[in-house]
Amino acid sequence: MAFEAQEAERVFDFVNLTFGAFLSAYLGVQLAQSPPDFDRVIRIGALLVEIGFVGLSLRSLGIALIRGISTTKFTVASATALMTGGAAYVLTCRELGYPMTIMGVIGLAWLTAPLIGLIPLIFRRWIKIYD
């Protein structure tokens, strides 16, 4: 099980960083097309930090579940962080005036993409490739 957990961690990290880069690039382009506004830059920075912490919370929950060491307290704390961060993300996007169709898809993709890390574990269970 340790091999699958390490593989899942690598995939979690890669996907999280990839979507983080795409989201940062999208927000950077939006910022470059608008007039300079320091307050807006601070809010966009806060938005990236919010979604980053939520992604890390989801990652740590997924890895704990894969390893079988997740407790109820840890699961509830991670779920609470996920809901709070998601709400903060939506409110910040609305306040910045970004279209929720685009930002919603980007945010959901970023949060759910680390679940790709479960693919090696699923294949290990169903197909038994490593045996």
Q: What pTM was computed for the model? A: 0.56
Average pLDDT, the chain: 72
Write down the pLDDT at residue 131: 46
Domains of the chain by residue range? 2-126
DSSP letters of 52-115? HHHHHHHHHHHHHHHHT---HHHHHHHHHHHHHHHHHHHHHHHHHT--HHHHHHHHHHHHHGGG
> Is there a contact between 48 and 85 (Cβ–Cβ < 8 Å)?
no
Write down the pLDDT at residue 116: 65
For 63-108, the pLDDT digits (tens) are 777 677 777 887 788 778 778 877 877 887 787 787 888 777 777 7
